[in-house]
Amino acid sequence: MEPYQFVSHAPEHKPWNDSTKLIEKIGKVYEHGGRITRIEKDKLANILYGIGSGHSPTYKLMGWAWSCSFLPEFIVEYTYGGFYSYRAVDKTALRSAIRSILRIIEVK
């Protein structure tokens, strides 16, 4: 799970912050095994889908993108009738980042 440049004017070196470090750490745990704390799981879901975020499992920063497509996929049904597909570590992490959820179904 390597970040990639999605614009031609992005800086040469990928930017680092707490979010990018967390995404890379969780990517390594999925590849090589290990443990992720509840706080880290919830923080990742909030980074991807919290207030001010979209529905994409890709975190973008300064022309660089970190894809989280390695995460399991879930379909979320909202109380107002909409359905959206998300990728997250687990259902609990999604519930911590998204409001008005009626139910969550894991896609196998």
Q: Could you report the per-residue pLDDT of 23-36, keeping only the tens digit for each?
A: 999 999 999 999 99
Domain containing 101 equals 16-107
Q: What is the mean pLDDT of the chain?
A: 92
Q: What are phi and psi of 72, to 5 degrees?
A: -60, 150
Average pLDDT over residues 76-97: 94
Q: What are phi and psi of 65, to 5 degrees?
A: -130, 140
Q: Could you tell me if residue 9 is inside a domain?
A: no
Give the number of domains in the chain.
1
Q: Could you tell me if residue 2 is inside a domain?
A: no
What's the rounded Cα separation, in Å, for the pair 37 and 26?
Answer: 10
Q: Could you tell me if residue 1 is inside a domain?
A: no
Q: Could you tell me if residue 8 is inside a domain?
A: no
Q: Could you tell me if residue 52 is inside a domain?
A: yes
Q: Could you tell me if residue 7 is inside a domain?
A: no
For every residue of 66-77, DSSP letters joined together read EE-TTSPEEEEE
pLDDT digits (tens, 9 = 90+) for 39-76: 999 999 999 998 767 778 899 999 999 999 999 999 99
- Give pTM, 2 decimals: 0.84
Q: Could you tell me if residue 53 is inside a domain?
A: yes
CB-based burial, 22-34: b 16+ in 10 Å, e otherwise: bbbebbeebeeee
Q: Could you tell me if residue 50 is inside a domain?
A: yes
